[in-house]
Amino acid sequence: MGNRVQAASSRRRLSRAPATTKRIIALAIRLNFLDSGFERDFAAFLTTKREVSEDVNAVVRAIIDDVRARGDAALADYSARFDGVDFSVTPMAVSAAEIDAAIDAVEPEVLGALKVAATRIEAHHRRQLPKDDLYEDKMGVGLGSRWTAIDAVGLYVPGGTASYPSSVLMNALPAKVAGVPRIVMVVPTRGGAINPAVLAAARLAGVEEIYRIGGAQAVASLAYGTETIAPVAKIMGPGNAYVAAAKRQVFGTVGIDMIAGPSEVLVIADRDNDPDWIAADLLAQAEHDAGAQAILITDDAAFGASVEQAVERQLKTLPRSETATASWRDFGAVILVPDLDKAVPLANRIAAEHLELAMADPDSMVPKIRNAGAIFIGRHTPEVIGDYVGGSNHVLPTARSARFSSGLGVLDYMKRTSILRLGPEQLRILGPAAIALAKSEGLEAHARSVAIRLNFGEEG
């Protein structure tokens, strides 16, 4: 790992354009498919780590143990210490009146936009509801797959600037569609105050049980319960290093969703795009996090250069310029290919969370893409639409995990139970094969449990 990272940095120094002018804020990595070292450089680029994981396991373990031992009292202590909130003054549970007041406090335009988003997200996710499949085969064996909602889920909502109402909708609405009877939201506060838009989003998503707690202590209380908070069966939602470590530690006792990494976008674009549009899309990813990644693949070197210049220009006027600059400088990339077909295998190896196809005839490329969290087709589908109002979920697999996992959906809030039903006749037909396999595996009690029902003279 160490070696690879070093290789990537030295390559990066080599492959950057010379910084001849002071005006240049940040230069992305440049790769050219036709260069002799491309495969080596691209492979190194793929394995570049974009986050440093802090080891907070011991601290988190202590907090979890304390919450298990002292329950509400521990929650009160940690919330006083970390969030500056006194539960004897501001209750831990958020009241319905508070949510009502929050809705009044949200700007009408934003509330309206949240409603548009909620309606579309709910409609799209309804189509993901699985159907039970109960049937009898030719032999008369009853078989089936039956889906049920998880009894109770916890939704972690980060505090501060990362407290996104859109994420509340994206995490809670699939649970509501799945039919989860109890959805519990936890959100850390600064002195007890919660972003009104977050509470409005919770109300729109049908979440009424909300506690102003956060960190590892909130995760522990959801997993093990306290006097006030009944435990849940699965914990969802993003959080900082403490929250991620706590989720990993309680996994097994409860289910957890994926641990999301920094966001990323891959834009495949031909020369007929407005460079400013593509630059804006790249920066929409880059502004999320210094570890975010924005990649452009194009078949036109001049267009690539125009996009780089547009990024430079736009960075100067961006409120989150510092973050976006760091992301573009450290992880941004412009990859030149001789033709866009060559972009397909690269895209499948990158397996981006978000993939934009901004080209003539994007539809012909879609079936060739095997690995992507979400695909945004055509010049008028910026990824940002998917973040908010497209209807699909914005919680998507990062860090190449789209090779083996999916975005958040209704199935993440449900589980499947298999059903099997034999009568005496079916057991008579299938039993001998089960006995033969059990015996060949050395599991005599397995064999007996079938044989004893067939009067095969096995000892009872």
Site for its own copies in 342-401 (CB under 8 A): 348, 366, 369-393, 396-397, 399, 401
Backbone angles phi, psi at 423, to 5 degrees: -100, 180
**Residue with Cβ nearer its own copies (92 or 106):** 106
Catalytic status, residue 354: yes
| Residue 246 sits in the site that holds its own copies (CB under 8 A) | no
Q: How far is the CB of 156 from its own copies (least distance, A)?
A: 15
Q: Per the annotation, does 128 bind a ligand?
A: no
Lay out the site mask for its own copies across 407-436 (x = CB under 8 A, - = otherwise).
x-x-x---xxxxxxxxxx-xx--xxxxx-x
Q: CA–CA separation, 374 vs 354, rounded Å?
A: 5
**Residue with Cβ nearer its own copies (87 or 330):** 330
Strand spans (E) along 15-71: 29-32
Helix (H) / strand (E) containing 125: helix 108-126
Q: Per the annotation, does 15 bind a ligand?
A: no
Lay out the site mask for its own copies across 25-64 (x = CB under 8 A, - = otherwise).
----------------------------------------
In Å, the largest CA–CA distance within the chain is 91
DSSP per-residue string spanning 386-439: HHHTSSS-S----TTGGGT-----GGGGEEEEEEEE--HHHHHHHHHHHHHHHH
209-211 and 234-236 beta bridge pairing: unpaired
Q: Per the annotation, does 354 bind a ligand?
A: yes
Q: Which of 19, 95, 96, 112 binds its own copies (CB under 8 A)?
A: 112
| Residue 314 sits in the site that holds its own copies (CB under 8 A) | yes
Q: CA–CA separation, 426 vs 313, rounded Å?
A: 73
Size of the site for its own copies (CB under 8 A): 127
Q: How far is the CB of 440 from its own copies (least distance, A)?
A: 5
Question: How many of the other CB atoms lie within 10 Å of CB of 271?
Answer: 15
**Residue with Cβ nearer its own copies (165 or 304):** 165
Site for its own copies in 148-177 (CB under 8 A): 148, 150-151, 161, 164-166
DSSP per-residue string spanning 199-242: HHHHHHTT--EEE---HHHHHHHHHH--SSS---SEEE----HH
Selected catalytic residue, list 122, 354, 356, 394:
354
Site for its own copies in 257-296 (CB under 8 A): 274, 276-277, 280-281, 283-284, 286-288
Q: How far is the CB of 447 from its own copies (least distance, A)?
A: 8
Contact between 263 and 351 under an 8 Å Cβ cutoff? The reply is no
**Residue with Cβ nearer its own copies (64 or 335):** 64
Site for its own copies in 194-213 (CB under 8 A): 197
Q: CA–CA separation, 406 vs 273, rounded Å?
A: 29
| Residue 7 sits in the site that holds its own copies (CB under 8 A) | no
Q: Which two tokens stand for residue 2?
A: 């160490």
Q: CA–CA separation, 388 vs 303, rounded Å?
A: 29
Site for its own copies in 212-241 (CB under 8 A): 233-234
Backbone angles phi, psi at 429, to 5 degrees: -75, -45
Q: CA–CA separation, 169 vs 288, rounded Å?
A: 19
Q: How far is the CB of 90 from its own copies (least distance, A)?
A: 24
Q: How far is the CB of 238 from its own copies (least distance, A)?
A: 14
Count of all residues that appear for the chain in the document? 460
State the residue for tokens 């996009």. 307
Q: How far is the CB of 396 from its own copies (least distance, A)?
A: 7
Contact between 375 and 348 under an 8 Å Cβ cutoff? The reply is no
| Residue 402 sits in the site that holds its own copies (CB under 8 A) | yes
Selected catalytic residue, list 209, 287, 308, 353:
353
| Residue 91 sits in the site that holds its own copies (CB under 8 A) | no
Q: How far is the CB of 91 from its own copies (least distance, A)?
A: 27
Q: CA–CA separation, 396 vs 124, rounded Å?
A: 15
Q: Per the annotation, does 364 bind a ligand?
A: no
Backbone angles phi, psi at 416, to 5 degrees: -110, 130
Instruction: Enumerate the known binding-site residues for Zn(2+).
Output: 285, 288, 387, 446
Instruction: Enumerate the known binding-site residues for NAD(+).
Output: 156, 217, 240
Instruction: Enumerate the known binding-site residues for substrate.
Output: 263, 285, 288, 354, 387, 441, 446
Q: Which residues are identified as catalytic?
A: 353-354
